[in-house]
Amino acid sequence: MAGERPNIKKWIVLYPVYINSKKTIAEGRRISAAKACENPTCLEIVDCCNFLKIPSAIELDKAYPRDFFMHRGRVRVLLRREDGSLYNPAIGTRKQLMHQVAELVPKHHGRTKKQEPAATSTAGPSKSGKGGKKKK
């Protein structure tokens, strides 16, 4: 890995904003909202790249310029070997990579586990929450 570090600057940059369905094109989304996923994280993108057998690295200290305060981090991805052959023959361009990752992120194991407790917790506060005027 130490040998790959100097070459990481030549890798493709993939910000989570590029595949976020909640963002507009003016805010940085690069694929259609129908094919994008909701609020992806750098860790989910890296896991998807590992699943696709594509080398990737996280840079947590970097941020998308238009979205500086909200989400930190970006992912560097290497699509081609030094001899020019693809790591994954199905993915040859950035756009294809974005579509594949956006398709895999909703199926990410961390995301599916997060949604199960969230469904039970949303029902909880609505039952226990009492509103209205206070009794005198």
Q: Is the pLDDT assigned to residue 73 strictly greater than 80?
A: yes
Residue 57's SS3 state is strand
User: For residue 64, how far is the Cα from the chain centroid?
Assistant: 13
Which comes out higher in pLDDT, residue 127 or 21? 21
User: pTM for the full model?
Assistant: 0.74
Distances (CA, A) of 105 to 44, 49, 54, 67, 123: 6, 10, 15, 20, 26
What kind and span of H or E run contains 74? Answer: strand 72-77
Q: What mean pLDDT do residues 42-63 have?
A: 91
Q: At 4, is the pLDDT very low, low, confident or very high (cuts 50, 70, 90)? A: very low
